Amino acid sequence: MLYLAGGYGHMLKQVKQVKIKLDDLKGGEVVSLLEEHYRDMLLHSPPESVHALDTRSLHCPSICFWSAWLDGKLAGCGALKELDKTHGEIKSMRTSLSFLRRGVAEKILIKIIAQAQSRGYTKLSLETGSMQVFIPARKLYEKFRFVYCPPFSDYVEDPNSVFMVKNF
pLDDT at residue 130 greater than cutoff 50: yes
Q: What is the pTM of this model?
A: 0.89
Which residues, listed in sequence order, are joined to residue 123 by a DSSP beta bridge? 87, 167
**What was the pLDDT predicted at 16?**
63
**What was the pLDDT predicted at 54?**
85
Q: What is the dihedral of CA 56, 59, 61, 66, to 10 degrees?
A: 140
Three-state SS for 126?
Answer: strand
pLDDT digits (tens, 9 = 90+) for 82-117: 999 999 999 999 999 999 999 999 999 999 999 999
CB atoms within 10 A of CB 62: 11
pLDDT digits (tens, 9 = 90+) for 5-63: 445 444 444 456 899 999 999 999 999 999 999 999 998 999 999 999 988 899 999 99
Sequence ranges of the domains in the chain = 9-167
CA distances (Å), origin 91, targets 1, 16, 84, 121: 23, 22, 15, 16
9-167: CATH class: alpha beta
Give 43's contacts (C-beta < 8 A, 6+ positions apart). Answer: none
